[in-house]
Chains A and B, each alone.
Chain A
Amino acid sequence: MGGGVFSYHFPRKNEPQILNSDDCRERNLKKVLIIDDEIFFCRAIKKNLELKDEFQVLSATRGDEGICLAKDEQPDVILLDIMMPGMSGTEVTDMLLADPVTRSIPIIYITAILNEDDIQRGAGIVGGRALIAKPVKIDELVKKINAVC
Chain B
Amino acid sequence: MQDSSTAYQALVEENALLKQKIRKLEKTAERRKKTEDCLRESEAKYRAIIQNIQEGYIETDLTGRWIFINDIIPKLLGYSRKELMEMPNPIHQLQSEPDAQKSYQAFRAIYKTGKPLKSFEIELIKKDGTTGNYEISVSLMKDTGGQPVGFRCISRDITERKMMERALKESEKQYRVIVENMYDSIWTMDMNLHFTYLSPSEIHTSGYTPEEVMQFPLEKLMTPESYAVVKRILGEEIEREFGSGPVDLNRKRILDIELYHKNGGTYWQETTASFIRDENGKPTGIVCVGRDVTARKQAESDLQTARDHLLQAEKLSAIGQLSAGVAHEILNPVNIISTEIQFLQTMENLPHEALEELEICMSQIDRIVAIADGLKHRSSIPEKRMEMANINDVIADIMTLHKSQLMIDKIETDLQYHPDLPEMLMDRKKIEQVMLNLISNARSAMEGKEKKVLRISTDWESHHDHVRIIVADTGHGIKSEHMLKIFSPFFTTKEQGKGTGLGLSISYGIVKDHGGKIWAKNNKWGGASFHIIFPVRTSHRS
Interface residues of chain A, those whose CB is within 8 Å of chain B, are: 38, 40-41, 44-45, 47-48, 51, 83, 112-115, 117-118, 121, 123-125, 134-138
A45 contacts B339, CB within 8 Å? yes
Give the distance in Å from the alpha carbon of A80 to the alpha carbon of B338 in the complex.
18
Shortest distance between the CB of B33 and any CB in chain A (Å): 140
B342 contacts A138, CB within 8 Å? yes
A112 contacts B328, CB within 8 Å? yes
Q: Say whether B331 faces chain A, with CB atoms less than 8 Å apart.
A: yes
Which of the residues B324, B343, B369 comes within 8 Å of A44, measured between beta carbons?
B343
Interface hits, B150-175 → A, CB 8 Å: none
Give the distance in Å from the alpha carbon of A48 to the alpha carbon of B345 in the complex.
10
A-B complex: 10 closest residue pairs judged by Cβ atoms: A135-B338, A112-B331, A134-B335, A44-B339, A123-B383, A135-B335, A41-B336, A40-B336, A112-B328, A138-B342
A112 contacts B381, CB within 8 Å? no
Give the distance in Å from the alpha carbon of A138 to the alpha carbon of B339 in the complex.
7
Interface hits, B351-367 → A, CB 8 Å: 365
Contacts of A121 in B (CB 8 A): 383, 385, 429
10 contacts between A and B (CB under 8 A): A44-B343, A48-B339, A51-B343, A113-B324, A114-B381, A117-B373, A123-B383, A135-B331, A135-B335, A135-B369
15 additional A-B residue pairs with CB within 8 Å, beyond A47-B343, A112-B332, A113-B328: A38-B332, A41-B335, A41-B339, A44-B336, A44-B339, A48-B342, A83-B328, A112-B328, A112-B331, A117-B373, A121-B383, A123-B381, A135-B331, A135-B335, A138-B342
Give the distance in Å from the alpha carbon of A74 to the alpha carbon of B75 in the complex.
134
A135 contacts B334, CB within 8 Å? yes
Shortest distance between the CB of B327 and any CB in chain A (Å): 7
Shortest distance between the CB of B521 and any CB in chain A (Å): 32
A125 contacts B342, CB within 8 Å? no
Give the distance in Å from the alpha carbon of A116 to the alpha carbon of B193 in the complex.
70
Nearest B residue to A138 via CB reads: B342
B336 contacts A137, CB within 8 Å? no
Q: Say whether B128 faces chain A, with CB atoms less than 8 Å apart.
A: no
Contacts of B244 in A (CB 8 A): none
B346 contacts A48, CB within 8 Å? yes
Contacts of B337 in A (CB 8 A): 135
Interface residues of chain B, those whose CB is within 8 Å of chain A, are: 324, 327-328, 331-340, 342-343, 346, 365, 369, 372-373, 376, 381, 383, 385, 429
Contacts of B332 in A (CB 8 A): 38, 41, 112, 134
Give the distance in Å from the alpha carbon of A105 to the alpha carbon of B85 in the complex.
136
Give the distance in Å from the alpha carbon of A135 to the alpha carbon of B346 in the complex.
17
Shortest distance between the CB of A90 and any CB in chain B (Å): 15
Give the distance in Å from the alpha carbon of A47 to the alpha carbon of B345 in the complex.
12
Give the distance in Å from the alpha carbon of A15 to the alpha carbon of B331 in the complex.
29
Give the distance in Å from the alpha carbon of A109 to the alpha carbon of B343 in the complex.
21
Which of the residues A38, A83, A118 comes within 8 Å of B383, measured between beta carbons?
A118
- Chain B binding surface SS class: helix
Nearest B residue to A123 via CB reads: B383
Contacts of B331 in A (CB 8 A): 112, 134-135
B335 contacts A38, CB within 8 Å? yes
Contacts of B340 in A (CB 8 A): 40, 44
Shortest distance between the CB of A114 and any CB in chain B (Å): 7
Shortest distance between the CB of B141 and any CB in chain A (Å): 116
Contacts of B333 in A (CB 8 A): 38
Known: A41-B332, A134-B334, A135-B369. Contact between A112 and B327, CB under 8 A? yes
B338 contacts A136, CB within 8 Å? yes
Contacts of B324 in A (CB 8 A): 113
Give the distance in Å from the alpha carbon of A136 to the alpha carbon of B339 in the complex.
7
B376 contacts A115, CB within 8 Å? yes
Contacts of A47 in B (CB 8 A): 343
Shortest distance between the CB of B331 and any CB in chain A (Å): 4
Give the distance in Å from the alpha carbon of A115 to the alpha carbon of B433 in the complex.
15
Interface centre among A45, A114, A135 (most CB of B within 10 A): A135
Give the distance in Å from the alpha carbon of A54 to the alpha carbon of B175 in the complex.
101
Give the distance in Å from the alpha carbon of A117 to the alpha carbon of B369 in the complex.
12
Shortest distance between the CB of A121 and any CB in chain B (Å): 5
A118 contacts B381, CB within 8 Å? yes
Nearest A residue to B385 via CB reads: A121
Give the distance in Å from the alpha carbon of A92 to the alpha carbon of B521 in the complex.
51
Shortest distance between the CB of B53 and any CB in chain A (Å): 110
Interface centre among B334, B373, B429 (most CB of A within 10 A): B373
Shortest distance between the CB of A11 and any CB in chain B (Å): 16
Shortest distance between the CB of A45 and any CB in chain B (Å): 6
Give the distance in Å from the alpha carbon of A134 to the alpha carbon of B339 in the complex.
9
Shortest distance between the CB of A28 and any CB in chain B (Å): 21
Nearest A residue to B337 via CB reads: A135
A125 contacts B365, CB within 8 Å? no
B346 contacts A38, CB within 8 Å? no
Interface centre among A113, A125, A134 (most CB of B within 10 A): A134
A125 contacts B334, CB within 8 Å? no
Contacts of A124 in B (CB 8 A): 383
Contacts of B369 in A (CB 8 A): 115, 135
Interface centre among B332, B335, B369 (most CB of A within 10 A): B335
Contacts of A51 in B (CB 8 A): 343, 346
Which of the residues B343, B365, B385 comes within 8 Å of A135, measured between beta carbons?
B365
Interface centre among B328, B339, B343, B385 (most CB of A within 10 A): B339
Nearest B residue to A47 via CB reads: B343
Give the distance in Å from the alpha carbon of A22 to the alpha carbon of B440 in the complex.
58
Contacts of B376 in A (CB 8 A): 113, 115
Contacts of B343 in A (CB 8 A): 44, 47-48, 51, 138
Give the distance in Å from the alpha carbon of A47 to the alpha carbon of B336 in the complex.
12
Contacts of B373 in A (CB 8 A): 115, 117
Shortest distance between the CB of A41 and any CB in chain B (Å): 5
Give the distance in Å from the alpha carbon of A136 to the alpha carbon of B337 in the complex.
10
Shortest distance between the CB of B295 and any CB in chain A (Å): 45
Nearest B residue to A125 via CB reads: B383
Shortest distance between the CB of B342 and any CB in chain A (Å): 5
Give the distance in Å from the alpha carbon of A40 to the alpha carbon of B369 in the complex.
19
